[in-house]
Structure 1
Amino acid sequence: MAVHFKYHPAMVAGVDNPQTLSIYFVDDQLLVKPELLADPSQHMPWSYETLSPEPKLALLLGELNDSPCRVVQLESAPDGWQAVALRDYLLRAPEPAFKVINAAAQLRYWLSTQNFCSRCGHNLEFNDSDRALACAKCGYLSYPKVSPCIITVVRKGREILLGQPVRIHTEMYSCLAGFIEAGESAEDGLKREVLEESGIHVHNIQYQFSQAWPFPHQLMLGYLAEYKSGDLLFDPAELRDARWFDIDELPTIPPRQTISRKLIDASIQIIRQEHS
């Protein structure tokens, strides 16, 4: 199913009409129809239906297949709709929907935290000239927050290093990741994060690709790296487990639309080429 999405160039209210698509949230959960949960690949999580004439929040996100598309925050889920955890949906979503819901969720969260100007304390308002909220009193512009993070797969021979974050309670293993500190390059941040979380020193760091991740406003910068030295000793404050896995004996790993899986697949391809 083709999806063509374009951001609206300003930060304005999302006005409802019969030609407007809406993406609905209750708190930080996505509202969907039951049929979408049965088969996310065949149904998209936006609708022309009006679920509330007075939503808690409504923002014009952009154009979706030539229709206006807005992000809408509701107080509760109406009959016939179901609230699902955003992460649960994104891990099953087809890639076109993944990108749109990613953007909608990040802006919804950001708007929920941006009530007042951080410079003078005055109310922030929608702004029809830029993608930012504006303070009418001092002129300050508040832009959507983006937090850069590194995410990486470390290779050692035929093995890759994967871990289980303490905050994610599944059997899935994924890449090591972490936030970049102020004044730090992405590469230095990667070396620091891998060392802090696993005790491993890395080198030959190679950038691959990026992906937004709305928990709550991360921009994941994906890298591959090679083992340099050190013994694996993971930080239990960050990881429930971390192991070296042979590429032919991998545990449960993330789905294909995630940057984690793309990095894992890229590492496997390199290892197979090197050991063919």
Structure 2
Amino acid sequence: MLNKYQKVYWCIVDGSEIYFPDQSLPYGSAEELNLPLEQALNIGSYLGTPCYWINASEIDSLFDMTSLRDLLTQPEALFLMASRAVQFGHMFTTQRFCSQCGGRNHLNINQIAMQCSDCRTLHYPRIFPCIIVAIKKDHQILLANHAKHTSGMYTVIAGFVEVGETLEQCVAREIKEETGINVKNIRYFGSQPWAFPSSMMVGFLADYDCGEIKVDKTELAAANWFSAGCLPPVAPKGTIARALIEHTLGCEIMN
């Protein structure tokens, strides 16, 4: 049980933003930092020290917050802890009422969940599974400019998993729907929690099989094959998209 004098790390979140003073998570006791203990939730450890989450709305003080996206280049352990905290914040703000009976939910710090005061149903954080896939053809990679990326950034294909669908089926479907091509040799690459607001990105590699590029204009503005020596602006470092691109091309990208 945390006491007000124990020094720990803190993740103070507000939406997709986190308090990140001096390029680090705040460290100290609740007494020193003037933080309430009642809503503090132990969400793991960082650098061998307990880390506690608290929603900024529970604190009287105002904080200069930092977007979670700005932490992508931080060490992985820090980014993952911050992502975890943001996802718990999303649970706290979006699951205030019970979907079973309509009762008021409150934070259950033992279960790390929201619990209905009336029927006692536990509501755990919602996680939305997504696939993200790099497709290789000879020495080229398929990159797309998504309609929402007005900056001109290109990245790999991604999409949400549907009910009753395997991850591999989702990979093949999303690629076919968005680009018109077929792939083969689908294999797992890695994963990344993506707290915008509460997704889990499951990364895959695939090889081109057949078909011509025909983009779904409701999803993509453009798509094309690119080689390592002639790349458009791509997803930033720290993202699984960037890792997939660099792995597929076999080189580190400087932009």
Query: Do the structures match in fold with TM over 0.5?
Result: yes
What amino acid is aligned across from residue 149 of structure 1 in structure 2?
Answer: C
What is the alpha-carbon distance in structure 1 between the residues aligned to residue 144 and residue 34 of structure 2?
42
Tell me the secondary structure at the aligned position of residue 202 of structure 2: strand
Partner of 1:22: 10
For residue 267 of structure 1, report the CA deviation from its aligned partner: 1.2
Structure 1 residues 56-87: Cα deviation after superposition (integer angstroms, max 9, x where no partner) = 964332232343322222259967x5323222
Conservation of the 8 A alpha-carbon contact between 2:134 and 2:157: yes
Question: In the alignment, is residue 250 of structure 1 matched against residue 231 of structure 2?
Answer: yes
Matches of 1:46 and 1:250, distance apart in 2: 39
Asked if structure 1 preserves the Cα contact closer than 8 Å seen for 2:191 and 2:200, the reply is yes
| 235-244 vs 195-204, greater mean Cα deviation | 235-244
Distance 2:3 2:127 in 1: 26
CA deviations over 1:78-122 (Å, ceiling 9, x no partner): 67x5323222x1333222211111111111112111111110111
Query: Which residue of structure 2 aligns with residue 95 of structure 1?
Result: 76
Aligned to 1:273: none
Structure-2 change in CA distance of 1:57 and 1:167 (3 Å): farther
CA change 1:251–1:46 in 2 (3 A) is farther
Partner residue of 2:51 out of 49, 64, 69: 69
The alpha carbon displacement at 1:154 in A equals 0.7
Percentage of identical aligned residues: 33
Note closer, same or farther for the CA distance 1:27–1:46 as it changes in structure 2 (3 Å cut).
Answer: same
Partner of 1:7: none
Q: Does 1:263 align with 2:244?
A: yes
For structure 1, the 5+ residue unaligned runs are: 1-11, 37-43, 271-276
Q: Indicate conservation of the 8 Å contact 1:31/1:77, yes or no.
A: no
Q: Is the 8 A contact 2:15 2:89 kept in 1?
A: no
Deviations 1:150-200 (A, max 9, x none): 100111111101122233343432111000001011111111111111112
* Aligned equivalents of 2:5, 2:148: Cα separation in 1: 40
Q: Does the 8 A contact of 2:16 with 2:195 survive in 1?
A: no
In structure 2, the CA distance between the partners of 1:16 and 1:252, relative to structure 1 (3 Å rule), is: farther
What is the identity, as a one-letter code, of the residue corresponding to 1:74?
A
Q: How does 1:204-223 map to 2 (within 5 A)?
A: 204-223=185-204
Instruction: Give the alignment's Cα RMSD to 1 decimal.
Output: 2.8
Matched residues in 2 for 1:61 and 1:16: separation?
17
Report what 1:60 is aligned to: 42
Residue aligned with 1:93, SS:
coil
User: Which consecutive residues of structure 2, in runs of 5 or more, have no partner in the other structure?
Assistant: none
Using the TM superposition, give the Cα deviation of residue 220 of structure 1 relative to its aligned residue in structure 2, in angstroms: 1.0
Deviation at 1:15, TM superposition (A): 7.0
Which amino acid is 2:26 matched to?
W
- Paired residue for 1:137, among 114, 118, 122? 118
Shift of 1:51: 5.5
TM-score normalized by structure 1? 0.79
Cα gap change, 1:78 to 1:135, in 2 (>3 Å) = closer
Aligned residues: 248
Q: Distance in 1 between matches of 2:5 and 2:218?
A: 49
